[in-house]
């Protein structure tokens, strides 16, 4: 099962900036028939996306009524890109804001779940289509310095796998993208090498077209998962050290 960009009708959550914006751009550049740019405030959608043909769609993934309204308004969708995310940059147990864990879970886990539940029937009615969940290497392996973002994205990874099993009979593919550090506002506190959002979008859409289940989008994701597999204790100690020294940086092995 897979879906192609050419001729598709896509909806991208959090499409107004960062990786979501890059997905909107690449979908339009790749020949999508229509791309809905989802945002809580459609006034935040850049003019260049609208000028390129993106269709504004008011969408708060944490509000079931907003998601239901979006599914009704975008009943022609064949591709769903669940990109909207929240990183509170707080600790998990020793949190400065104890409510942040719930907020991150609402956006990073319940948001995609709300979207899949609402748009699943839409995809079925339109031939099956595809769902792409933009996740994180922090959801594939425990990453202490990312607080609740790591367990929230981990929950979304399991959601992706289970959703694929449930939706397979209707012909819907679900691809989970394991993403490393990317040059977006969310990672503005991270030093070192960061990927271009458009490269992530290009790679992610190719993975969707191949029908990938879980796919590492960049070198950092590949290397981090390999290191954890080889020596999980060393990895976990290293992440704790990063958390405690307060310096977030990326580097690649040579």
Q: How many residues does the chain have?
A: 254
Residue 2 belongs to some domain of the structure: no
DSSP 150: H
pLDDT of 141-165, one tens digit each?
A: 999 988 999 999 999 999 999 999 9
Task: Report the pLDDT value the prediction gives residue 254, as an integer from 0 to 100.
Answer: 30
| pTM for this entry | 0.92
CATH of the domain at 85: 3.40.50.720
pLDDT of 236-249, one tens digit each?
A: 999 888 888 765 55
Q: Which of 155, 161, 163 is nearest to 138 (CA)?
A: 155
Residue 230 belongs to some domain of the structure: yes
- Rounded Cα distance between 104 and 140, Å, is 16
Mean pLDDT (whole number) for 56-81: 98
What is the separation of C-alpha 251 from the centre of its chain, rounded to a whole number of angstroms? Answer: 22
- Rounded Cα distance between 130 and 121, Å, is 12
- Check pLDDT > 70 for residue 187: no
Q: How many domains does the chain have?
A: 1
- Rounded Cα distance between 213 and 130, Å, is 11
Which domain covers residue 213, as residue numbers? 9-250
Is there a contact between 85 and 186 (Cβ–Cβ < 8 Å)? yes
Is there a contact between 223 and 230 (Cβ–Cβ < 8 Å)? no
Q: Which residues are catalytic?
A: 149, 153
Residue 4 belongs to some domain of the structure: no
**Helix orientation angle between 232-245 and 219-230, rounded to the nearest 10 degrees:** 120
Task: Report the pLDDT value the prediction gives residue 188, as an integer from 0 to 100.
Answer: 52
Residue 27 belongs to some domain of the structure: yes
Residue 1 belongs to some domain of the structure: no
- Rounded Cα distance between 120 and 162, Å, is 13
Residue 166 belongs to some domain of the structure: yes
Residue 3 belongs to some domain of the structure: no
Is there a contact between 137 and 150 (Cβ–Cβ < 8 Å)? no
């Amino acid at each position: 099962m897979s879906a192609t960009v050419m001729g598709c009708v896509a909806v991208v959550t959090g499409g107004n900036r960062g990786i979501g914006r890059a997905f909107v751009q690449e979908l339009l550049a790749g020949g999508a028939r229509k791309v809905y740019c989802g945002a809580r405030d459609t006034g935040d959608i850049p003019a260049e996306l609208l000028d390129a043909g993106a269709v504004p769609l008011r969408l708060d993934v944490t509000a079931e009524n907003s998601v239901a309204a979006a599914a009704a308004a975008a009943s022609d969708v064949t591709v769903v890109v669940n990109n909207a995310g929240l990183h509170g940059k707080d600790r998990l147990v020793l949190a400065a804001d104890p409510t942040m864990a719930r907020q991150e879970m609402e956006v990073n886990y319940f948001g995609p779940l709300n979207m899949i539940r609402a748009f699943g029937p839409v995809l079925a009615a339109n031939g099956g289509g595809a769902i792409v969940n933009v996740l994180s290497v922090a959801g594939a392996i425990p990453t202490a310095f990312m607080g609740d973002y790591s367990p929230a994205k981990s929950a979304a990874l399991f959601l992706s796998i289970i959703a694929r099993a449930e939706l397979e009979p209707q012909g819907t593919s679900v691809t989970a993208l394991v993403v490393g550090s990317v040059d977006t506002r969310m990672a503005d506190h991270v030093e070192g090498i960061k990927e271009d959002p458009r490269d992530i979008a290009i790679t992610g859409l190719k993975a969707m077209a191949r029908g990938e289940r879980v796919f590492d989008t960049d070198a950092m994701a590949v290397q981090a998962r390999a290191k954890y597999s080889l020596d999980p204790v060393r990895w976990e100690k290293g992440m704790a050290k990063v958390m405690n020294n307060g310096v977030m940086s990326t580097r690649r092995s040579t």
